Amino acid sequence: QKEVEQDPGPLSVPEGAIVSLNCTYSNSAFQYFMWYRQYSRKGPELLMYTYSSGNKEDGRFTAQVDKSSKYISLFIRDSQPSDSATYLCAAENSGGYQKVTFGTGTKLQVIP
């Protein structure tokens, strides 16, 4: 079992829809959680970086972490065709340097 599990999709939604992307994890030591966006033939780009449980909002993006259920979510409001990309969730332990563990990514397509 991978430490961070993510549905690969693809997920296809109409423009303007609310998108929900989800991951589960198994390592209780994970304290920091991230979402990266990766366009085709590009490196991943950090979208959200959160600590422990709770919500964090940045524009149209909201990251949510529920440590009790080991569940990570990313919500995209008013989705745009430019949001079409692969979204990777990731997690790391606390205490300075630790290797980041990535999910396999969910491919999202927003249809105009």
Interacting residues toward another protein by CB under 8 A: 2, 6, 8, 32, 34, 36, 41-46, 49, 88, 90-92, 96-97, 99-105
By beta-carbon proximity to another protein, the closer residue of 55 and 94 is 94
Q: Up-side HSE of residue 100: CA atoms within 13 Å toward CB? A: 14
Distance, CA of 25 to CA of 4 (rounded, Å): 4
By beta-carbon proximity to another protein, the closer residue of 50 and 62 is 50
> CB 38: neighbour CB atoms within 10 A?
15
In the complex, least distance from residue 31 CB atom to another protein, rounded to whole angstroms: 10
In the complex, least distance from residue 3 CB atom to another protein, rounded to whole angstroms: 11
Rg of the Cα atoms in the chain: 13
By beta-carbon proximity to another protein, the closer residue of 17 and 93 is 93
In the complex, least distance from residue 108 CB atom to another protein, rounded to whole angstroms: 16
In the complex, least distance from residue 42 CB atom to another protein, rounded to whole angstroms: 5
Distance, CA of 100 to CA of 90 (rounded, Å): 6
> CB 106: neighbour CB atoms within 10 A?
21
By beta-carbon proximity to another protein, the closer residue of 51 and 77 is 51
Residue closest to 54 by CA, chosen among 46, 66, 43: 66
